[in-house]
């Protein structure tokens, strides 16, 4: 591994699920390998730190298939290293002047270390989407399958993946314990509400929810708490304060274990 690469933390979970985290990066992006007898699903690829392709090959002899929860910069970094990469069509229709959500080109004052870090990760370079994901699709990995659930809101083509047999759900950036970013370009709060309800409806059918940021796994009670808190915001609970995130003004709705960052209006 090159000395300027961030290490990958790897944790083997039950049901042949492998959690990979770029813990040394400020985004602490988490992504997952779901191993079948014929294919291994690579659910997102982070920012591209470390040798993810080599790691996938070490953990499984099955053919890798990359399933993108969405195409934001911190989820696609190593996708260029794979030949089969799929995303929801609504995500692929987003403008490609840069990526739908990138950090600022210049570091903020007092944060000068970010620029070389960003150049080192080079998110999105060489990415090629080779297939589509549609709501209701069943992706047969051999001995297990993943169901595609369209969960827009954070982005128009955000998708979650449900392994009914393992009672596991991979939720991307829709919900997690941390600052949920609902102000980025093409986010839609109406869609967020509907998608959180979709996950809440599934809460009784899963034992583990695997998000792309923050602690993992979550339980059904966590999803219900996030859904209920968003309903409070939807019905008029004002922000606890206003602040700035990556140079964007945001309204912050703080619920202690998690927060919603929404447009200031």
CA distance 115 to 188: 29
State how far Cα 147 lies from the chain centre: 16
The predicted pLDDT at position 36 comes to: 95
Total domains present in the chain? 1
**Coil/strand/helix, residue 241:** strand
Task: Give the mean pLDDT per block of 10 residues along the chain (265 residues).
Answer: 61 93 80 96 91 91 94 90 95 60 44 42 70 97 97 96 97 96 93 98 96 95 98 97 91 98 92
Pair type for strands 248-254 and 208-211: unpaired
Q: Is residue 231 part of a domain?
A: no
Query: What pTM was estimated for this model as a whole?
Result: 0.88
CA distance 237 to 252: 11
CA distance 94 to 121: 22
Helix, strand and coil content of the chain, in percent to the nearest 5, comes to: 20, 30, 50
Q: Is residue 174 part of a domain?
A: yes
Q: Is residue 240 part of a domain?
A: no
CATH code of the domain containing 74:
3.60.15.10
Sheet holding 159-163, edge to edge: 138-140, 145-150, 159-163, 168-172, 208-211
| Average pLDDT score, the chain | 87
Q: Is residue 257 part of a domain?
A: no
The predicted pLDDT at position 52 comes to: 92
CA distance 82 to 65: 8
Domain limits at 134? Answer: 9-181+188-222
Q: What six digits make up the tokens of 225?
A: 């708490």
User: Phi and psi for 185 in degrees, rounded to 5?
Assistant: -55, 135
DSSP at 81: G
Q: Is residue 249 part of a domain?
A: no
Q: Closest by alpha carbon to 124, among 73, 67, 69, 52?
A: 73
What 3 state SS string does 6-47 have? CCCEEEECCCCEEEEECCCCCCCCEEEEEECCCEEEEECCCC
């Amino acid at each position: 591994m090159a000395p300027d690469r961030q290490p990958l933390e790897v944790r083997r979970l039950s049901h042949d699920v492998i959690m990979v985290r770029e813990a040394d990066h400020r985004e602490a992006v988490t992504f997952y390998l779901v191993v079948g007898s014929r294919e291994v699903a690579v659910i997102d690829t982070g920012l591209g730190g470390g040798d993810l392709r080599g790691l996938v090959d070490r953990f499984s002899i099955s053919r890798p298939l990359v399933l993108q929860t969405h195409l934001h910069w911190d989820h696609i970094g190593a996708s260029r290293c794979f030949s089969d990469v799929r995303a929801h069509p609504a995500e692929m229709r987003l403008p490609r002047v840069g990526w739908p959500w990138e950090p600022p080109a210049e570091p903020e004052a007092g944060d000068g270390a970010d620029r070389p870090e960003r150049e080192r990760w080079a998110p999105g370079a060489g990415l090629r989407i080779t297939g589509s994901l549609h709501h209701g699709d069943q992706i047969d990995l051999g001995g297990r399958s993943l169901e595609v659930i369209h969960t827009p809101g954070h982005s128009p083509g955000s998708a979650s993946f449900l392994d009914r047999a393992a009672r596991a759900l991979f939720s991307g950036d829709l919900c997690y314990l941390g600052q949920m970013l609902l102000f980025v370009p093409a986010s839609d709060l109406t869609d967020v509400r509907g998608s959180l309800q979709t996950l809440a409806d599934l809460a009784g059918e899963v034992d583990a929810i695997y998000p792309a940021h923050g602690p993992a796994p979550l339980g059904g009670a966590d999803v219900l708490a996030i859904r209920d808190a968003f309903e409070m915001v939807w019905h008029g609970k004002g922000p606890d304060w206003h602040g700035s995130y990556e140079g964007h003004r945001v309204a912050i709705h703080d619920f202690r274990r998690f927060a919603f960052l929404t447009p200031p209006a």
